[in-house]
């Protein structure tokens, strides 16, 4: 099957998560992604992750998670010969992605204004915490900084626990996905050639449309509501005889089906539960009424029963539990690689959550060791073996 970006070459200058995640999505869509890494150390994510031994090998779990399918070359962008080689790479590339602090590429003489003279059709994407201009442009930014600045933490948890960090790097991931979307769109432009400025802060705020709009349009102060869906009731998490279940009886017919199935149809006649607004005002008393029955069975059993009658439900699972589910295993969401170089064992990584014509896109190669493709890429530019060795001695490669 042909892949949407199979004729596209991407130069990935990024580190850690937002940028590597962006370029990983492009690789899954068929792009040739060349990861241009700093000489001697590479992507910082090579030293990050829960396995100290892999960190020592510069193949940290954080790196493995976002870099399968890419090629790795090492290049010193501060060295004149290194810069010259990068410019040659740009001549043969379609996309450049970087997530340096604003101004770094300009100081190197390799910013968009310089590179578009070499490649007018270049799509250049700069990912940063706050964008390429504005009062906060020079602030350093990591995921948690953006989570705090965006308001995410203020609405995560409940009134007792907020502000609370979301349990994974949501700002980095959303920033990376936003960048991948913008790049894919820019590649479709005619004529091609643009500068994409991705702000992680604005990317996150864009995904908070309901919360932001409730404030801007309805004048509602955003608050932390824990596991309760404030737009409806009963809608949230409920205790069962074993485990926690999510139930979203958001429609009137679902409320009827739920109460009938639980043997609590009399609740519908009570004034405090008669309408959606009534139920929202009395949601915690209603929660107790429902839990008196829900605690007689396991969450997974209730989920099967309620989904069967049309009430959206699901047991709250751990990450290991959901990864073991046939729903994940049978759709080809995970991608496995055997005996990965630099790792010394088999690994599994996630893919995209997308299927194209019934097939989940997957990259064919595991995450690369640092500089694994130096010979291939630099010889493709016309360098001889002796020239490559000399550039290594000079510190350019």
Residue 322 lies in a domain: no
pLDDT of 1 > 70? The answer is no
- Read off the tokens for 280: 């929202």
Burial of 226 (0-12, 13-18, 19+ CB in 10 A): middle
Domain containing 265 — which CATH number? 3.30.1540.10
Q: Which long-range contacts (CB under 8 A, 24 or more apart) does 79-84 make?
A: 79/394, 79/395, 79/396, 80/396, 81/391, 81/394, 81/396, 82/391, 82/396, 82/397, 83/108, 83/109, 83/110
Residue 219 lies in a domain: no
Q: Which of 316, 342, 362 is the last residue of a domain?
A: 316
pLDDT tens-digit readout, 274-297: 999 999 999 999 999 999 999 999
- What are the φ/ψ torsions at residue 95 (nearest 5 degrees)? -140, 140
Does 268 lie in the same domain as 350? Answer: no
Inside any domain, residue 179: yes
On whether both 203 and 101 belong to a single domain, the answer is yes
- Report if residue 355 sits inside a domain: yes
Average pLDDT over residues 2-25: 96
Q: Is residue 28 part of a domain?
A: yes
End position of a domain, from candidates 288, 316, 344: 316
Question: Is the pLDDT at 171 greater than 90, yes or no?
Answer: yes
pLDDT on residue 385: 92
Is the pLDDT reported for residue 329 higher than 90?
no
Predicted local distance difference test score (pLDDT) of residue 389: 92
The Cα 333–Cα 350 span in angstroms is 6
Q: Average of pLDDT values for 103-130? A: 97
Same domain? For 94 and 185 the reply is yes
Residue 321 belongs to a domain: no
The answer to whether residue 59 sits within a structural domain is yes
Average pLDDT for residues 72-84, to the nearest whole number?
A: 96
Tell me what pLDDT residue 301 has.
97
pLDDT tens figures, 301-321? 999 999 999 999 999 999 999
Flag whether pLDDT at 300 surpasses 80.
yes
Residues 166 and 202 in one domain: yes
Q: Based on the domain organization, do 109 and 30 belong to the same domain?
A: yes
Give how many domains the chain has, as a whole number. 2
Q: Does 147 share its domain with 18?
A: yes
Domain boundary among 275, 291, 316: 316
Are residues 203 and 63 part of one domain?
Answer: yes
Q: How many helices (H) and strands (E) does the chain have?
A: 18, 11
Taking residues 144-162, report their average pLDDT. Answer: 96
- My answer on whether 128 and 248 are in the same domain is no
**pLDDT tens digits, 330-376:** 898 999 999 999 999 999 999 999 999 999 999 999 999 999 999 99
Average pLDDT value for residue range 108-131? 97
Whether 373 is covered by a domain: the verdict is: yes
Assign residue 116 the CATH number of its domain.
3.40.50.10540
Instruction: Determine the pLDDT at residue 396.
Output: 92
What value does the mean pLDDT of the chain take? 96
Whether residues 23 and 105 share a domain: the answer is yes
378-390: pLDDT as tens digits:
999 999 999 999 9
Residue pair 250/235 in contact (Cβ under 8 Å)? The answer is yes
Q: Is the pLDDT of residue 236 over 70?
A: yes
Q: Is 201 in the same domain as 52?
A: yes
**Which of 12, 94, 111, 172 is an active site residue?**
172
- Could you identify the residue written with the tokens 């510069």? 58
Residue with tokens 């690789």: 27
Considering the domain architecture, whether residues 51 and 17 belong to the same structural domain is answered as: yes
Same domain, 179 and 87: yes
pLDDT tier for residue 263 given thresholds of 50, 70 and 90: very high
Beta-carbon contacts of 18 under 8 Å, excluding residues fewer than 6 positions away, are 99, 127, 171, 172, 173, 175, 176, 179, 200
Percent above pLDDT 70 for the chain:
100
Structural domain of 264 = 235-316
Q: Is 346 a catalytic residue?
A: no
């Amino acid at each position: 099957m042909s892949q949407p970006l199979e004729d596209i070459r991407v130069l990935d200058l990024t580190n850690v998560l937002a940028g590597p995640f962006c370029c990983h999505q492009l690789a899954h869509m068929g792009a040739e992604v060349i990861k241009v890494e700093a000489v001697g150390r590479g992507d910082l994510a090579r030293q990050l992750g829960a396995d100290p031994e892999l960190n020592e090998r510069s193949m940290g779990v954080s790196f493995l998670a976002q870099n399968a399918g890419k090629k790795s070359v090492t290049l010193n962008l501060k060295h004149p010969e290194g810069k010259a080689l990068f410019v040659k790479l740009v001549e043969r590339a379609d996309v450049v992605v970087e997530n340096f602090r604003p101004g770094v590429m300009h100081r190197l003489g390799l910013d968009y204004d310089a590179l578009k003279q070499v490649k007018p059709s270049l799509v250049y994407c700069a990912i940063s915490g706050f964008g390429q201009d504005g009062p906060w442009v020079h602030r350093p930014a990591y995921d948690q900084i953006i989570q705090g600045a965006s308001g995410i933490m203020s609405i995560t948890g409940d009134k007792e626990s907020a502000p609370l960090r979301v349990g994974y790097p949501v700002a980095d991931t959303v920033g990376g996905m936003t960048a991948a979307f913008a790049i894919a769109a820019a590649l479709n432009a005619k004529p091609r050639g643009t500068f994409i400025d991705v702000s992680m802060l604005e990317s996150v705020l864009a995904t908070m449309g309901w919360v932001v709009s409730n404030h801007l349009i309805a004048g509602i102060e955003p608050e932390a509501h824990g596991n309760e869906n404030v737009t409806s009731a009963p809608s949230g998490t409920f205790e069962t005889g074993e485990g926690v279940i999510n139930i979203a009886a958001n429609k009137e017919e679902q409320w009827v089906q739920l109460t009938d199935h639980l043997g609590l149809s009399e609740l519908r006649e009570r004034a405090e539960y008669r309408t959606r607004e009534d139920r929202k005002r009395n949601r915690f008393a209603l929660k107790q009424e429902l839990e008196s029955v829900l605690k007689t069975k396991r969450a997974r059993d209730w989920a099967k029963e309620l989904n069967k009658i049309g009430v959206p439900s699901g047991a709250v699972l751990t990450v290991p539990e959901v990864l073991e589910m046939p729903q994940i295993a049978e759709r080809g969401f995970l991608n496995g690689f055997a005996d990965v170089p630099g790792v010394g064992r088999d690994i599994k990584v996630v893919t995209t959550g997308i299927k194209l014509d019934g097939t989940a896109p997957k990259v064919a190669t595991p995450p690369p060791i640092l500089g694994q493709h130096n010979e291939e890429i630099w010889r493709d530019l016309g360098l001889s073996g002796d020239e490559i060795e000399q550039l290594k001695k000079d510190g350019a490669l």
